Amino acid sequence: MALAPVTYCLWQRFLRFDPEDPIWPNRDRFVLSIGHASMLLYSMLHLTGVKAVNPAYETLGEVSVALDDIKNFRQLDSKCPGHPEYRWTSGIETTTGPLGQGVATSVGMAIAGRWMAEYFNRPDFEMFDYDVYAIAGDGCMMEGLSSEAASLAGHLKLSNLCWIYDNNKITIEGHTEWAFSEDVATRFLGYGWNVLRVGDANDLETLERAFNTFKNTGDRPTLLIVDSHIAYGAPNKQDTHAAHGEPLGEEEIRLTKRNYGWPEDAKFLVPDEVIQHFQQGIGQRGHGLREAWFARFEAYKTQYPELADHLYRMQTRRLPDGWDKDLPEFPADAEGDAGRNASATVLNAIAQNVPWLIGGSADLTPSTKTRLTFEGAGDFTADDYSGRNFHFGIREHAMGAILNGMSLSKVRPFGSGFLIFSDYARPAIRLGALMEIPVIHIFTHDSIGVGEDGPTHQPVEHLASLRAIPGLIVLRPADANEVTEAWRVIMQLHHDPVVLILTRQNLPTLDRSQYAPASGVAKGAYVLADADEGLPDVLLLASGSEVSLCIEAYEQLKTEGIKARVVSMPSWELFDRQDQAYQDSVIPLDVTARVAVEQASTLGWHRYVGLHGHTIGMQTFGASAPLKALQEKFGFTPDSVVAAAKAQLA
């Protein structure tokens, strides 16, 4: 309730948003970072008559939030869940709830807006100039994530970004004085933001002046601090703080309505005049702006047909024709190359054909090999928003959220780091999976193969942790050609975020004339090497660098007359999507002697090796030593695999 005047002023007087078409490309974005205030957003979606949109980007005609949805707030299948959810309710720009995520994601939206303006805008054709507004609370300001994101936004001078800080001095435990006393305004001035203050959330005219000041500020983002008072019920007068987050009681509701001169007994009353009022404000303004944009786009298609085609394909998540025409095929090589190096080659080949494939790293580009090196790629900076190489700084969590915001704006973003630091980005990766957006996360230094850097940098539990996230595809390719095929899969995803996990150390490039083609990656797992005839005696299952280890063991077993099958399993998630017949053809039920090999936690491998199979993996953290010494210590050698296979047969 306290924020209703602020939101009213923003939506009715400023927000460039057409309720009839809530996915119009150049609309302003509104993010409710304080997702627990979701009913504020649902109310606006209902009162402004926002229309529902289906996954095929078609407006359905029905309203996104009906009054019955509001009546069923937080109930099963209601369009009004406890926190706003992207894809579930049209008009919601991003899923929010975990504090700080919304404001950090809004930075990605602002970044995408600036990049798209540089790429698509031409004289007399301003195709992108939208602004991004995000409402934050005290909790958002306390989270470290918002500090990471605000620091980068200030550094990049994102003047199309406005955070509205609801300074009500209340969190779940009670008054913020128990844990929070910093000077937020001074902090944001230090970040390079423009800081404004409105002392009363009900003062519409001062709010309007503040929003106009934001619109006229062209060299930095804006923080608008609004002082408000939260309304909450108090069922127990001795414990008013415990009531925070609870609905108003019946008596409080009655008194509030009396104070506003509203019928005290009426429930869910929305007079027709209210709907008309919003139609005459945001409805007419937004519709006019949208119509003008699409008329401009029609002329743009005539004058700049290639750019118009790119804009359409980007907005509908389609790839340009011939996007994969330069994908490399790597020759067999016993010495091979590191997965990160092969990925660099493939990424640059694709990016030249997909102009909106953009990204960078959390200060690790020289190590993750994710720099776009072709002519014209450039760097995205405050002085040049056209660059395609991004520098997120040592801010893994913010990078993950910013990538989500960029993807929600329909560019195709990638971000990179060391696999060990996926822990720092995990909350944002999880939200990307929940939203079903195709963000690309590239993680290198994938195992104890990091060697001398030691256990602080050697991921052990991270593969299992990422595989546990519903809807996230994990890809760990075994050689350079599997890297190519992994990228082929990644680029064709529409609703799946993906984690591409790559080695620092060299991997042998397998001879595909002797072994199966790498195209099997598309199915998640495939038979790489098989028994000469009949069913194999034992299955050797692996992902990534351990696949070549299994190939060595396979050849050794073959000389001893033991029929083995090597199954490369780059993606459990893709394999589990295949029909049962295919799965059984790769991992036959009749072959119970099974060995899995992976330089990571063994958690989850029992699904494929069975209760009696054996997994060679990590039971402890790693150690600081050269790679070969670590492989010997932890059993990642051909002899260990052969011994495990024979033990299974016995």
Residues 110-152 have pLDDT tens digits of: 999 999 999 999 999 999 999 999 999 999 999 999 999 999 9
**Higher pLDDT among residues 272 and 243, named by residue:** 272
Q: How confident is the model at residue 233 (pLDDT cuts 50, 70, 90)?
A: very low
The answer to whether 153 and 104 have CB atoms below 8 angstroms apart is: no
Structure tokens at 469: 């996230």
In a 3-state reduction of DSSP, which class is residue 283?
Answer: helix
Q: How confident is the model at residue 243 (pLDDT cuts 50, 70, 90)?
A: very low
* pLDDT for residue 291 is more than 60: yes
Q: pLDDT at position 363, please? A: 93
pLDDT the model gives residue 231: 57
Q: Which DSSP helix (H) or strand (E) runs through 539?
A: strand 538-542
- The DSSP string of 184-202 is HHHHHHHHT-EEEEES-TT
pLDDT at 244: 46
In order of 108, 351, 390, the CA distances from 372 in angstroms are 19, 8, 10
Asked whether the beta carbons of 607 and 594 are under 8 A apart, the reply is no
Strands 51-53 and 59-63: antiparallel
Is the Cβ–Cβ distance between 293 and 130 less than 8 Å?
no
* Amino acid identity, position 482: E
pLDDT above 60 for 234: no
**What is the spatial order of strands in the sheet that 538-542 belongs to?**
526-529, 564-568, 538-542, 594-601, 614-618
Q: Which helix (H) or strand (E) holds 540?
A: strand 538-542
Q: What is the mean pLDDT of residues 180-209?
A: 93
DSSP tally for the chain: helices H, then strands E: 24, 22
State the Cα–Cα distance between residues 104 and 94, nearest whole angstrom: 11
- Kindly report which listed range (265-274, 395-404, 421-430) carries the lowest average pLDDT score: 265-274
Q: What domains are defined for the chain?
A: 4-230+271-292 (3.40.50.970), 333-507 (3.40.50.970), 523-649 (3.40.50.920)
Distance, in Å, from the CA atom of 362 to the CA atom of 395, rounded to the nearest integer, reads: 6
Report whether pLDDT(57) > 80: no
Chain segment 65-81, per-residue pLDDT in tens? 999 999 999 999 899 99
Q: What share of the chain is helix, strand, coil (3-state, %, to 5)?
A: 40, 15, 40
Per-residue confidence at 247, pLDDT binned at 50, 70, 90?
A: low
By percentage, how much of the chain surpasses pLDDT 90?
A: 86
Nearest to 346 by CA among 543, 488, 489: 488
Residue 113 structure tokens = 């807006």
Dihedral sign of CA atoms 116, 118, 123, 126 in order: positive
Q: pTM of this prediction?
A: 0.95
Angle subtended at Cα 58 by Cα 56 and Cα 60, rounded to the nearest 5 degrees: 125
Q: Which of these, 136, 94, 88, 57, lies nearest to 400 by C-alpha position?
A: 94
pLDDT of residue 418: 97
Segment (H or E) for 117: helix 101-120
Q: What is the pLDDT of residues 562-573, one digit of tens each?
A: 999 999 999 999
Q: Provide the percentage of residues in the chain whose pLDDT is more than 70.
A: 97
Q: How far is CA 273 from the centre of its chain?
A: 40
**599-603 average pLDDT score:** 96
| Mean pLDDT, the chain, whole residue set | 94
End-to-end CA distance of the chain: 71
Give the CA-trace dihedral at 585, 586, 588, 593, to 10 degrees: 160
Phi and psi torsions of 106, nearest 5°: -65, -30
What are the residue numbers of the active site? 396
Question: Within a 10 A sphere around the Cβ of 470, how many other Cβ atoms?
Answer: 8
Task: Determine contact, residues 70/268, Cβ cutoff 8 Å.
Answer: yes
